[in-house]
Each structure stands twice: as structure tokens, then as C-alpha cells.
């Protein structure tokens, strides 16, 4: 084993990179991607500079693994920006302040209102069907209402 590590060729590094990238495809969540890229990078460097000792190859592999992972981590953090449409896919937040008719009576604090062609679960004071209520908040998929 010791002799094998001392005689690593670029094919060994490219093979390790390929194996790590294949394992990444099976759902490692990005952890193996950058280590695989680093291994492939060491393989390319070993092809260009075949006289690199195995110590330098392993050092390059470690440094490239850390650098590529840090690069990706910093890039991901910078990409997460505030949306210019913060309410996108939060349909219930659009309903706050609007009034609707109670579809199923609100009994024991639970009921339903009709919004367009859909029905929403609501919480609020007991209200008979047909009365008007105003949406005041959203808690997940349940709207909070107040009687008008």
C-alpha cells in the first residue's frame, strides 16, 4: 500500500475524482462535489507536472478541497439575496385586510371562508355562515380573521 501511494499517477487522481462525482450524483448534497473537483484538479496538475511527489500531491489535494468548498460556500451565501417579490408563493399574505363571507360557520374558533373559487381554513371568533369577516393574519395555511 505504501509503495502504491508513493507512485500515484494522474489516472489515480482522475479516477478518484470520477468516483467522488458519481457518488455525489447519488445524493451527497454537495459535499463530495468539491472534493471530486479537487481530485480531478490534482490529476490535471499531475499530468502537467509528472515529477510531483506524493506528499505535494496530497497537500495540493487538501488545499484544493478546502479552497473549492470555501469558494462555493461564499458564493452560495452571496447569491441568497432579498427577493423583489417577498410575497411570492405566499398567497395567504395577499388576503390580509380583505373581507370575505364565511363559508362554513366558525365554531369553537375554526371555520372556512370562500376566497374566489377556493376555500380557506380560518380561526377567529364564532361567526355564522354568510357573515363577513376580515383577514388579519396568516399562520401557515390557516388565516386568522375578525368579525366585522
**CA gap 45, 24 in Å, rounded:** 23
Q: Kindly state the DSSP code that residue 127 receives in the 8-state scheme.
A: B
User: For residue 10, what pLDDT band results from cuts at 50, 70 and 90?
Assistant: confident
144 has which bridge partners?
A: 123, 137
Residue burial 30-41, b: 16+ Cβ < 10 Å; e: rest:
eebbbbbbbbbb
Helix (H, G, I), strand (E, B) or coil at 12: helix
Helix, strand counts (H, E) of the chain: 5, 5
Query: Is 86 among the domain residues?
Result: no
The structure's pTM equals 0.51
Domain that holds residue 116: 91-147
Q: Give the pLDDT confidence of 80-99 residue by residue, as tens digits.
A: 667 677 666 677 788 999 99
Which of 5-9, 70-74, 101-105 has the lowest average pLDDT? 5-9
Number of domains into which the chain is organized: 2
Asked if residue 52 is part of any domain, the answer here is yes
Q: What does the pLDDT read at residue 2?
A: 65
- Its sign, for the CA torsion 9, 62, 38, 1, is positive
- Give the pLDDT confidence of 96-105 residue by residue, as tens digits: 999 999 999 9
- Tens-digit pLDDT profile for residues 121-130: 999 999 999 9
Cβ atoms of 46 and 16 closer than 8 Å: no
Question: Are residue 74 and residue 97 in the same domain, yes or no?
Answer: no
Is 84 a domain residue? no
Question: Does residue 74 lie within any of the structural domains?
Answer: yes
What are the pLDDT digits (tens) for 22-61?
Answer: 998 887 677 788 899 999 999 999 999 988 888 999 999 9
Residue 25 lies inside a defined structural domain of this protein: yes
**Residue 61 near residue 39 (C-beta atoms within 8 A):** yes
Amino acid at each position: 500500500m505504501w509503495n502504491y501511494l508513493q507512485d500515484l499517477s494522474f489516472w489515480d487522481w482522475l479516477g478518484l475524482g470520477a468516483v467522488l462525482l458519481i457518488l455525489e450524483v447519488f445524493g451527497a448534497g454537495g459535499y463530495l462535489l468539491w472534493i471530486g473537483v479537487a481530485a480531478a484538479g490534482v490529476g490535471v496538475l499531475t499530468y502537467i507536472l509528472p515529477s510531483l511527489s506524493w506528499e505535494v500531491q496530497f497537500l495540493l489535494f487538501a488545499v484544493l478541497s478546502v479552497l473549492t468548498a470555501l469558494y462555493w460556500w461564499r458564493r452560495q451565501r452571496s447569491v441568497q439575496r432579498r427577493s423583489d417579490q417577498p410575497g411570492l408563493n405566499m398567497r395567504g399574505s395577499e388576503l390580509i385586510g380583505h373581507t370575505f363571507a364565511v363559508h362554513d360557520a366558525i365554531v369553537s374558533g375554526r371555520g372556512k371562508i370562500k376566497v374566489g373559487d377556493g376555500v380557506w381554513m380560518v380561526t377567529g371568533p364564532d361567526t355564522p355562515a354568510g357573515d363577513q369577516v376580515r383577514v388579519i393574519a396568516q399562520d401557515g395555511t390557516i388565516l386568522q380573521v375578525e368579525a366585522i
